[in-house]
Amino acid sequence: MNNCVMDTEEMKILEMLKKVIDPELMVNIIDLGLVYGATFDAAGRQIDVALTLTSPGCPMGGIIIEDAQQTLESNYPGFNVNINLVWEPAWSIERLSAKGKAELGFS
C-alpha cells in the first residue's frame, strides 16, 4: 500500500473520530485537539491512535477511550484497534481547531 492510500485511510479515521464527543465540553475530540495522531496498517490489520485528555484527572477519560475504540472497531471489523493514552506533550488551548474554539464560545 502506498503512502497516499495510508494518508487517506488515516484521514478517514480522524473524520470518524469526530463522532466521539467529550461529554463535559460537548465538543468532538478532533476539534478539541485531543487526538495526536493515527496510524493505519492494512497488512497487519492494526490501527493505532494517540489520544490525550484535557486533564490527567478527567473523570470522563474511560468513556472517551471506549467510545473511540468502539467507533473504529465498528468501522474496521477484524482490525486490532489500539487507543494509546499519552500525556506528552500536555494538551493546551493552542490545540483547539477554529471550529472547536467557536463551539466553546471563543470570540
Partner 1 sequence: MNQIASQNAPSPKVVVPHFIFGALTWLMVTILIIFHPEAFTQHYFNAELLAITHLLVLGWITMIIFGALYQLLPVIMEVKLYSETLAKISFLLMAIGTILLSLAFWHFSFGPLMFIAGISIVISVSLFVANALLTAHSSNKNVIERTFIVSSVIWLLFTVLAGLTLAINLSHPFLKVSHVELLKLHAHAGLVGWFVQLIIGVSSKLLPMFMVSHHVNTKKLNFSFYTINIGLPIGIIALYLQYKIGVVFSAIMVVAGIVGYLSFLLASYKKRVKKQLDIGMKQSALSFVFLVIPLFLIFTLLLNIDFLNRLTLPLSVAYGSAIVIGFITSLVMGQTYKTLPFIVWLKVYQGKVGKVILPLPKDLYSEKLAIAQVWLFAIGFGFLLIGISTTNTTLVMVSGILLLLSVAFYNLNILKIVLHKPTNE
| Residues found near partner 1 in the complex (CB under 8 A) | 21, 23-26, 53-63, 65-67, 70-71, 74, 84-87, 92-93, 96, 104-106
Smallest gap from residue 26 Cβ to partner 1 (A): 6
Amino acid at 63: I
Complex with partner 1: residue 6 or 60, whichever CB lies closer: 60
Complex with partner 1: residue 2 or 77, whichever CB lies closer: 77
Complex with partner 1: residue 8 or 84, whichever CB lies closer: 84
Instruction: Tell me if 91 sits within 8 A of 52, measured CB to CB.
Output: yes
- Beta pairing class for 21-22 and 27-28: antiparallel
Smallest gap from residue 4 Cβ to partner 1 (A): 31
Smallest gap from residue 59 Cβ to partner 1 (A): 5
| Count of Cβ atoms closer than 10 Å to residue 98 Cβ | 9
Cα 20 to Cα 81: distance, rounded to the nearest angstrom: 15
Helix (H) or strand (E) holding 80: strand 80-85
Complex with partner 1: residue 8 or 82, whichever CB lies closer: 82
